[in-house]
A and B are shown apart, each in its own frame.
Chain A
Amino acid sequence: MGITEILRMALGSLGVNKLRSGLTMMGITIGVFSVIGVMTAVSALRGSIENGLSFLGSNMFQFAKYPVNGGGGDEEGPNRRRYEMRRDITLEEALRYQRLMEGVADVVCVKSFENNITVQARYQNRKTTPGITFCGSNEHFITANQYTIDLGRNLGADDVEFARPVAVIGQAILKRLFPSESPLGKMIKVNERTYTVIGVFADKGSSFGQNQDAIVMVPLTRFLNDFGVARHTINIATQAPSQLLYNETIDKGITAMRIVRGLRPEQENDFELYSNDSLIATFAKVADVIAAGSFVISGIALLAAGVGIMNIMLVSVTERTKEIGIRKSIGARKASILTQFLIESVAISLAGGVLGILLGVAGGNGLALMLKASVVFPWDWAALGLIVCSGIGVGFGFYPAWKAASLDPIEALRYE
């Protein structure tokens, strides 16, 4: 007999017990939802990191006081304390590094950030929301952080040398402070310090919930004059001349850093090195742990849901003993009965799985959107989800289906 007939029979009998089928389905839906939701969010973030966003420009690496994740994520933990104990990287050290690297790498970006969340830019009576990125740097910032100049000019070496009070602003600042006029030559105030706008960055978008266009950049020297050297450690980004010389340049950079930091040979580095690769690797490690955790949890949930399916199918077989007897008496083979009940359990499982995938993709992308990552549909996880659900349907449905197929027709017909 055709599979379409069995399919119609199986789905017909599911429709009779809508509530029961629905509740059984829920278990699968929840299990699939959790894993697909997490996987969608993770792959949306991963995608936006690997494609949309490079933290640093090409062939760049960076030295900093703190590691990229701030010391293991635990703000109060011993790791955080260890990094805090380090000396800040000072302007003098940075400039010395720059001199040491002359001829090896010409593009050295030094930069420091004001991390106070009250930082706010204003022009006349208009002001930005607090919490913009305020940064002191040099002419290489745009290379190191992959910005481009849309209007006006970049910082120049002489701006840095003479600590001129000039600023390059991002698109978000532009829209806020200068909605209908040219910003060039205008005086803006950032926390009561005055700067002349000389340029505007092109649109860059967001990453990780941080608006990269809400930025004001001034010369590093001016920044340290205005906001003080205390608590302003300097990050040093270096661009290798080519991909080929990348590792060699990193080695030379580390040597230069050790010299400027005055480290003896037996002392460990008291600074962190990171590159695009190490940043991505750090994120990937976190993502893998999250993925593995959600995998285990939803595995357990799916196992429980599978037991639920088996339970409900056993009830169904018992309830429908008479029906099975009738079908056998008019010539249903073992395989027909087996297939009919297997399709029922697979249908419950798959329907639950599809619902779980849809909810999970919606939920995961919702989370990703909140973190300003782009929307993805994780085809691989969705496909895997469907395969696993079919497997659960077959695996946990087999025993009840086999029990149904093996019923003695005489006994089954006599059952009331």
Chain B
Amino acid sequence: MTRPTGALVIDIEQVTKLYQMGEETIHALRGVSLKIHRNEYLAIMGPSGSGKSTLMNMLGCLDTPTAGRYEFNGKNVASMEDDELADIRNREIGFVFQTFNLLPRSTALANVELPLIYAGLSPSIRRERATRTLQDVGLGERMSHKPNELSGGQRQRVAIARALVNNPSIILADEPTGNLDSKTGVEIMALFETLYEQGNTIIVVTHEEDIARHARRIVRLRDGLIESDGPVG
């Protein structure tokens, strides 16, 4: 296990996040610093309330820090407007959610094409790239099925294809096996392994030790601070 040598993708320094809940101020993150390089496979762990979800939202550019520095591929995300963040999410980040979050009335192919639509690509290019990506995740035969006609594992493969289709800098997976049986979970983790070996950068947020062990590096959070950060050992 060698330390990654790729370019710096995510550079977070002393990031804090405060929430106002009525009278109370909640310190979700109290000063987190993290560097993630290209082609890393990282797991973020922590009990509920540790700031794990907040950090994931921040990494995924769904949210901006209250204070601190966040650079994504050298660009300062912390001060970006909503539409700029949307563009970053579209081009640089592929989300995989616990509940899949597919559009229920669209076919697998249409779901995978969606990010390319927002990226402004032409229909023929979209179709070709979405088709190829679905084939890559092993769903070439079921492209015209709607989510409710697919099994949980197949749905998560569609979601992964959607995350991959725009060639993002990172794939951000939030409890990707949480809604799957253990056998299917193993298959999905094997798919992530393949993607990692193909050169993708993968961040998995989980509370399951077994899942985290698939990664090469584990970051543990507690009470809004990084408790430990090191290779899987």
Contact = CB atoms under 8 A, between A and B. Distances in A.
Interface residues of B, number: 25
Interface string B17-30: 00000000000000
A331 B115 contact: yes
A329 B89 contact: yes
A226 to B, nearest CB: 82
A12 B105 contact: yes
B95 A330 contact: yes
A12 B110 CA distance: 12
Interface string B75-112: 00000001100110111000101000111010000000
Among B105, B118, B119, B162, the most chain A Cβ lie within 10 Å of the Cβ of B118
Nearest to B97: A413
A333 interface: yes
Contacts of A2: 117, 120
Interface string A27-39: 0000000000000
A331 B119 contact: yes
Nearest to A330: B115
* Chain A interface, >50% SS class: helix
Given A2-B120, A5-B117, A327-B114, A333 B103 contact: no
A322 B147 CA distance: 15
Contacts of B117: 1-2, 5
A333 B62 contact: no
A371 interface: no
A90 interface: no
A2 B123 CA distance: 10
A329 B62 contact: yes
Nearest to A329: B95
A326 B86 contact: no
Given A327-B114, A329-B62, A16 B101 contact: no
Contact of B118 (A13, A16, A332, A413): A332
Interface string B59-86: 0101100000000000000000011001
Interface string A1-31: 1100100000011001000000000000000
Categorize the interface residue count of chain A: 20 to 34
B60 A329 contact: yes
Contact of A330 (B82, B105, B118): B118
A326 B63 contact: no
A415 B95 CA distance: 17
Interface string B120-142: 10000000000000000000000
Contacts of B86: 328, 331-334
B120 A333 contact: no
Contacts of A5: 117
Contacts of A409: 62
A100 to B, nearest CB: 85
Contacts of A329: 60, 62, 89, 95, 101
A332 B114 CA distance: 9
Contacts of B119: 1, 331
Given A330-B114, A331-B91, A331-B119, 15 more contacts: A1-B120, A329-B101, A330-B118, A331-B90, A332-B86, A332-B90, A332-B118, A333-B83, A333-B87, A333-B118, A334-B86, A335-B83, A336-B118, A409-B62, A410-B63
Nearest 8 pairs between A and B by C-beta? Answer: A331-B90, A331-B118, A330-B115, A333-B86, A331-B89, A333-B83, A326-B101, A5-B117
Interface of B: 57, 60, 62-63, 82-83, 86-87, 89-91, 95, 97, 101-103, 105, 114-115, 117-120, 162, 166
Interface of A: 1-2, 5, 12-13, 16, 322-323, 325-336, 409-410, 413
